[in-house]
Copies of this chain bind each other. A is one copy, B any other.
Amino acid sequence: MPDAVTALIPSRTGPDDLAARVGDVLTGFLAEQALTLEAVSPDAVALADAVRDFVAGGKRLRPAFCYWAWRGAGGTATPAAAAADAADTAGTGSHGEDAGIVAAAASLELFQAAALMHDDVMDDSDTRRGRPAVHRQFASLHRDHGWCGDQDRFGLAGAVLAGDLCLSWSDALFVRAFGPHGLPPAQLAAGRAVFDTMRTELMGGQYFEMVEQARAGTGGAGDAVSRARRVIRYKSAKYSVEHPLLLGAALAGAPADLVSCYSTMGLLVGEAFQLRDDLLGVFGDPARTGKPAGDDLREGKRTVLVAFALEKADATERATVESLLGDPRLDENGVETLRGILVRTGAADRVESLIADDVDRAREALAAAHLPDEARAALSHLVTAATARAA
């Protein structure tokens, strides 16, 4: 995802700065969880530390979509003075609806953390957000202590548990957003419905992607592009953009036409977001993406980019793609060879066109919605932030 996101997420000064407020909620909540773990064993605080460090690197994109969808649906910001008071009290939904929505939005960062930690275990990835993946960190801890047993197995177990905690904590934080000093409890059921669907669809989408990779395109060449787009929708577009928007809408009791507009816009922006991520995974600068270039190629991911390339590839190019894609030992030369094919077949350009088309249509949906000016401007910025080419 482009680094530009951080700069472009609408930021306001002081206690109203959304990204900072999300960070504060997470910091306070995780400090409290660390105490529970410390009572189990001082060793177990390593889990809370790993989660804290991991979420510190988040871009707060999902919370921003959630928050501004809520504002767009009529949720009211707390005046800065009240928010400053609220900042004194641990930050988890204790002063009014605005504090509640920030806590609910922050819970999405923990959900994403769970998904990424477990994803890295499943893919055996080395790197995430420019640092060693969590399972590699726990393996290093094992090695540094000179402990017995297999360090990689210890690392895997540590990351499975850290991800399980993120998943549990995400929902614990979400629930805290409601109550006499937070969001109206009457909205909890509507919010839960989105939250629960988000979780099930993401895990189903990740499994669907695994099966697609395992079938390696043998599911029928003709519809490879549509299947790749379906994978994107469920493994990324929904939980990255659509569900955060729908969550904000549900928590504000948005009318059906606005929900429908958010859904349309969310799926389009979410697809464009993932297509951008796919391009960056192959062509991006690792210093900016935080991941080694070509990892998606080594993992054999059946992206839209690859599907486009295979549609237009000649027999030689196709054979090259099929032999190199999914080779875990693929080196820089191999990555460069695949890049050449992705460019020569026009696949990279077609993905750029698809992104542009998605963004255009998302902006049309946004323009058609009845929204307060501030929310419309913020959502428009977010569309750019989520999909723009890294400068």
A: which residues have CB within 8 A of B? 33, 36-37, 40-41, 43-44, 46-47, 114, 118, 121-122, 124, 142, 145, 147-149, 153-154, 156-158, 160-161, 163-165, 167-169, 171-172, 175, 179, 185, 189, 192, 196-197, 199-201, 203-208, 210-211, 213-216, 230, 234, 300, 326
Residues A47 and B204 in contact, CB atoms below 8 Å apart: yes
Residues A158 and B210 in contact, CB atoms below 8 Å apart: yes
28 contacts between A and B (CB under 8 A): A36-B204, A40-B204, A40-B205, A40-B234, A41-B204, A41-B207, A41-B211, A44-B204, A46-B207, A47-B203, A118-B160, A122-B153, A124-B153, A147-B215, A149-B326, A154-B214, A157-B206, A161-B203, A161-B207, A164-B164, A164-B167, A165-B199, A167-B168, A168-B199, A169-B200, A175-B192, A179-B189, A185-B185
- B160, B168, B205: the one contacting A196 at CB < 8 Å is B168
- B172, B200, B300: the one contacting A33 at CB < 8 Å is B200
Question: Residue on B with the closest CB to A196?
Answer: B172
Copies in the complex: 2
Known interface pairs A208-B44, A234-B41; A203-B165 also in contact (CB < 8 Å): yes
Question: Known pairs A37-B204, A145-B215. 4 more at Cβ < 8 A?
Answer: A41-B204, A122-B157, A149-B213, A171-B171
